[in-house]
Amino acid sequence: MAYDIPAKLAERGLSLPAAAAPVAAYVPAVEGGGLLHLSGQLPFEDGNLMTGRAGEDRDLAYATSAAQKCALMILAQAEKALGSLDRIERVVKLGVFVNSAGSFTDQPKVANGASELMVELFGDAGRHARSAVGVPVLPLGAVVEIDAILAIRA
């Protein structure tokens, strides 16, 4: 099934960013056993990393927007690895890490920024398992980082 992701993104005023290069000793994507495992992706807005700590210097809306930007980067990495987003059969799992103050407990709401976009783009095939975890710091001071597992067609 083709999802016409570019058209659905355009309807929402969104587009895929250029796939970011790794910042350490890893690869962005590994394909195996019918799955594409995507390394943690960071949020970029207008080419700038979205940084800060939810519940401290960033609010829920900012962190949720950052999660959506991570989801866009996941799709950009998937397209680069697969050659086409049409190879995605379903979103299996998202792992969402939120740079959070100790009193911040809305990690699931932050994660919805990515989860809701996947459902909007892929329909029922976008419904996925998920974890949403608060952490005290993320690479480069990012406010959110998300990794993913996607089921893919050969």
Give the closest residue to 44 by CA, choosing from 151, 118, 145. 145
* pLDDT confidence of residue 2: 63
Reported pTM: 0.96
pLDDT score, position 23:
86
What is the pLDDT at residue 101? 98
3-state SS assignment for residue 146? strand
Q: Are 141 and 126 in contact (CB under 8 A)?
A: no
What is the predicted pLDDT for the residue at 1? Answer: 57
DSSP 73-87: HHHHHHHHHHS-GGG
User: Helix, strand or coil for residue 134?
Assistant: strand
Point out the residues of the chain with pLDDT beneath 50.
none
Residues 1 and 8: their CA atoms lie apart, in Å, by 15
Mean of all residue pLDDT scores within the chain: 96
Q: Which residues contact 69 (CB under 8 A, 6 or more apart)?
A: 17, 43, 44, 45, 50, 144
What pLDDT does residue 72 have?
98
CB atoms within 10 A of CB 34: 12
The string of pLDDT tens digits covering residues 20-59 is 999 899 999 999 999 999 999 999 999 999 999 999 999 9
